[in-house]
Amino acid sequence: MKFLGTSAADSIPNLHCQCAHCMEARKRKGKDIRMRASFLLDENNLIDIGQDINAQSQKFELELYKLKNIFITHSHEDHFSLNELLNISHAHKNGGAKGREKLNVYLSKPAYGYMEKLYAAMRTSPFNESTESQYVNFIPLDYFENYEVGDMKIYTLKGNHDAYGEGEKSINYIFTFKNGVKVLYASDTGYYPDETFEHLEGKMDYVIMECCTTDSKNKGKRAGSHLDIKGYLEMLDEFKKRNFIDENTKIYATHMSHSHDLMHQELQDTFDKTDYKVVVAYDGLDIC
Ordered by start, the domain boundaries in the chain are: 2-280
**Which residues make beta-bridge pairs with 280?**
253
Higher-confidence residue: 83 or 237?
Answer: 237
- Residue 164 is classified by DSSP as S
2-280 placed in CATH 3.60.15.10: yes
For 235-288, what is each residue's pLDDT tens digit?
A: 999 999 999 999 999 999 999 999 888 999 999 999 999 999 999 999 999 998
Predicted model pTM: 0.95
pLDDT of residue 127: 44
Looking at this protein, which amino acid is placed at residue 101?
Answer: E
**Distance (Å, whole) CA 8 – CA 192:** 19
Query: For the chain, what is the radius of gyration of the CA atoms?
Result: 19
pLDDT of residue 34: 98
CB atoms within 10 A of CB 244: 21
> Residue 83: enclosing H or E segment and its boundaries?
helix 82-86
CB atoms within 10 A of CB 158: 19
pLDDT of residue 126: 46
Looking at this protein, which amino acid is placed at residue 26?
Answer: R
Using alpha carbons, select from 259, 253, 250, 263 the residue that is nearest to residue 233.
Answer: 253
Residue 89's contacts (CB-CB under 8 Å, 6 or more residues apart) are 129, 131, 132, 135
